[in-house]
């Protein structure tokens, strides 16, 4: 029987708890310690009922715990601000870190785009939920029209009910980190990210819109469409609720209807619009919280691959 790699989860909120429940089903990873700062948090209580060791003393409790020596990977599901402290301490102890906050201290990782490139890194950043949902599309378009995604813009709309205190505290970091990752991982020359907290009741599932501006003389609608659909199928292997709501839409701009984009300039060429939705697996929160599901699913995928290198 293969021995599972022991991991710890920092953060007992929505993301940390969903992550814990996904790892319970993993054949590669095992949660040796679930860490929070509120002894009355629902996440810690859930972990205790499942027989998972816990501490409510935060990073200090993690380091002092008897399980710490055997833990190889730490998943940080706290906040960008807290991660700055956590990353330094965990590096001193030689722990691999999968960062689910927008702190972005380590390289950005989108599993279907660049997972293999950063397996040896001490700290990898999972960008944001919006980034995990949309950057694969920008990356696919960039491969279909090599080096010609001049501008990539994403709009991530999530239910207000699925945005906990950590998400709300990190809104600025969300937009900055996602925009930068659109460029670094997606391959766009200029990236922009917008997040919408939808107050609708009943809650709507996560919906994402991806706009990409490319050179019309080098782009083929059929090739771009195939690339996008192939990428959606790849993401759906670890996020089954990830899907297109319709085929990509193509618009063209020339001298007669050129468009000016702040921060980019005047554009002439093809605009590719991709409409997505992400339905959660319902492991912890309702299925409308696809924003949490895609983040934790991507982190588990990264953790599994890191474990194979240890």
Contacts 24+ apart (CB under 8 A), 54-58: 54/12, 58/10
Strands in 245-309 per DSSP E: 249-253, 259-261, 265-267, 269-278
Name the active-site residue from 129, 206, 219, 232.
Answer: 129
Q: What is the 8-class DSSP label of residue 220?
A: -
Question: Is 129 noted as a catalytic residue in this protein?
Answer: yes
Q: In whole angstroms, give the CA distance from residue 65 to residue 34.
A: 11
Q: Are 235 and 276 in contact (CB under 8 A)?
A: no
Q: What is the 8-class DSSP label of residue 108?
A: B
Please count the other Cβ atoms lying within 10 Å of the Cβ belonging to residue 241: 18
> Which positions ≥6 away from 20 have C-beta within 8 Å?
9, 31, 34, 43, 46, 47, 50, 52
Name residue 215's beta-bridge partners. none
Letter string b/e over residues 91-100, b meaning 16 or more CB atoms within 10 A of that residue's CB = eeeebbbbbb
> Which positions ≥6 away from 45 have C-beta within 8 Å?
none
**Angle at Cα 237 formed by Cα 231 and Cα 238, nearest 5°?**
110
Assign 3-class secondary structure to 23-69. HHCCCCEEEEEEECCCCCCHHHHHHHHCCCCEECCHHHHHHHCCCHH
Which amino acids are annotated catalytic?
Answer: 129
């Amino acid at each position: 029987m293969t021995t599972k790699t022991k991991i710890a989860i920092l953060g007992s909120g929505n993301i940390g708890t969903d992550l814990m429940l996904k790892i319970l089903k993993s054949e590669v990873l095992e949660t040796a310690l679930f860490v929070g700062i509120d002894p009355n948090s629902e996440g810690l209580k859930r972990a205790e009922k499942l027989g998972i060791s816990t501490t409510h003393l935060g990073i200090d409790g993690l380091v002092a715990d008897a399980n710490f020596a055997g833990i190889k990977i730490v998943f940080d599901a706290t906040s960008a601000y807290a991660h700055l402290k956590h990353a330094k301490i965990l590096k001193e102890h030689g722990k691999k870190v999968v960062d689910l906050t927008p702190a972005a201290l380590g390289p950005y990782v989108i599993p279907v785009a660049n997972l293999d490139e950063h397996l040896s890194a001490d700290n990898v950043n999972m960008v944001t939920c919006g980034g995990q949902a949309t950057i694969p599309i920008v990356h696919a378009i960039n491969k279909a029209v090599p080096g010609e995604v001049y501008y990539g813009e994403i709009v991530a709309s999530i239910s207000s009910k699925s945005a906990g205190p950590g998400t709300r505290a990190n809104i600025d970091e969300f937009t900055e980190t996602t925009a930068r990752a659109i460029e670094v991982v997606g391959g766009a020359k200029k990236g922009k990210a917008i997040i919408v907290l939808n107050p609708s009741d009943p809650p709507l599932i996560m919906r994402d819109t991806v706009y990409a501006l490319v050179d019309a003389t080098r782009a083929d609608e059929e090739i771009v469409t195939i690339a996008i659909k192939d990428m959606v199928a790849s993401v759906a292997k670890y996020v089954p609720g990830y899907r297109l709501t319709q085929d990509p839409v193509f618009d063209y701009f020339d001298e007669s209807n050129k468009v000016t984009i702040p921060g980019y300039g005047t554009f002439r060429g093809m605009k590719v619009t991709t409409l997505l939705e992400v339905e959660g697996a319902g492991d912890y929160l309702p299925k409308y919280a696809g924003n949490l599901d895609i983040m934790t699913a991507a982190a588990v995928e990264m953790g599994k691959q890191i474990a194979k290198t240890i």
